[in-house]
Structure 1
Amino acid sequence: MTLHLLVMGVSGSGKSTIGAQLARALALPFGDADAFHPASNVQKMSAGIPLTDEDRWPWLDALGAWLAAQKGGGVIACSALKRAYRDRLRAAVPGLRILHLSGQAAMITARQAAREGHFMPPSLMASQFATLEPPAPDEAALVLDITAPPEVLILQATAQLRRIAAC
């Protein structure tokens, strides 16, 4: 089975860390959505201005194209906060699996505030949670509680993905 996986969640939920480690564990290429943002998006976020859907469409299209080009499978870390964003990625990558890193706002906000050198300022955390549309049941997302340490999350994710692949 070829696995194309979206690791999603709000900023500070651990998408890049978990996504990269999971890709390594699954021997798949990894892409971090932050690296696909055009300079104009980074500039807006750095200034504390939330992105609009119009800002996101070309970015999501680039992510979908990259993931679709990974013929043997791949992992992408992307907030994908709205169903419409995930639908756009699924249109580019049919069969896309979703792993949602979920956690309490207070914990994630504290993580975000402690993070250095990232363009997403803690002031945008409220907009992240306001925008978040958790995956619906028909999206068949795997949901992991981020209070567990990364190594436990990787074990949980790989076990669930192997169970799905065996079906």
Structure 2
Amino acid sequence: MGFEQKTPPLAVVVMGVSGCGKSSVGERIAAQNGLTFLEGDQLHPARNVEKMAKGIPLTDDDRLPWLDRIGAEIKAAQNQSQGVVISCSALKRSYRDRLRHAAGGRLAFVFLDGSRELLLSRMQARQGHFMPASLLDSQLQTLEPPTGEPGVVTVAIDGVLDDMVALACEELRGVAIKGGFHAG
């Protein structure tokens, strides 16, 4: 069962630090609900990828053009009456508010939350990703958990992927029905 669709259609940002499963969860949420999935990492400017690959944390100045590009993708999808799911760390409240503003309203977040130990083990196990495990602590220090923010669903990452996705979809339906979004 998909989310309640209104105009503009729902946009979902699957957020959290590196290694939490944003892409895996986001792809499945999109597939199960007939939405488009966009990999936020692919929207980073090349210089951001180069910095992270060298183990250099991004600054706000590095992240803002990337967030604006994600916001533009959300707005473009909504203008075409398409729902979209995007993976994006969205570590700070100001980043999430920037995306909410770009979306003009119907934007929900799925916050993937987990322990440092679990995140580190996942980052160390993956291959071919530009983000080194050495940047995990900087991301955790930057993270402002979205506790109490509108339109946010929190899912623990220590479960089975199918269960995490099912919980996220169930909670997102509740957010959509209640209209618990921030108008930006």
Task: Return the TM-score normalized by structure 1.
Answer: 0.96
Task: Tell me if structure 1 keeps the 8 A contact 2:57–2:135.
Answer: yes
Equivalent position of 2:97 in the other structure? 87
Equivalent position of 1:44 in the other structure? 51
Stretches of structure 1 lacking an aligned partner (at least 5 in a row): none
Task: Return the TM-score normalized by structure 2.
Answer: 0.88
Q: Which aligned runs of 4 or more in structure 1 are off by greater than 4 angstroms?
A: none
| Aligned counterpart for 2:31 among listed residues 24, 27, 34 | 24
| Aligned counterpart for 1:15 among listed residues 22, 26, 31 | 22
Equivalent position of 2:84 in the other structure? 74
- Matched residues, percent identical? 47
Please, which moves more after superposition, 151-160 or 42-51? Answer: 151-160
Stretches of structure 2 lacking an aligned partner (at least 5 in a row): 179-184
Residues 58-69 of structure 1 correspond to what in structure 2 (within 5 A)? 58-69=65-76
What is the CA RMSD across the aligned residues, in angstroms?
Answer: 1.0
Equivalent position of 2:60 in the other structure? 53
Question: What's the CA shift string for 1:108-163, capped at 9, x where partnerless?
Answer: 01100111100000110110100100003033410000111110011111111223
Question: What's the CA shift string for 1:63-83, capped at 9, x where partnerless?
Answer: 000011112211000000011
Counting matched residue pairs gives: 167
Question: What's the CA shift string for 1:50-95, capped at 9, x where partnerless?
Answer: 0110011111000000011112211000000011111111110022
Partner Cα separation in structure 2 for residue 74 and residue 82 of structure 1:
21
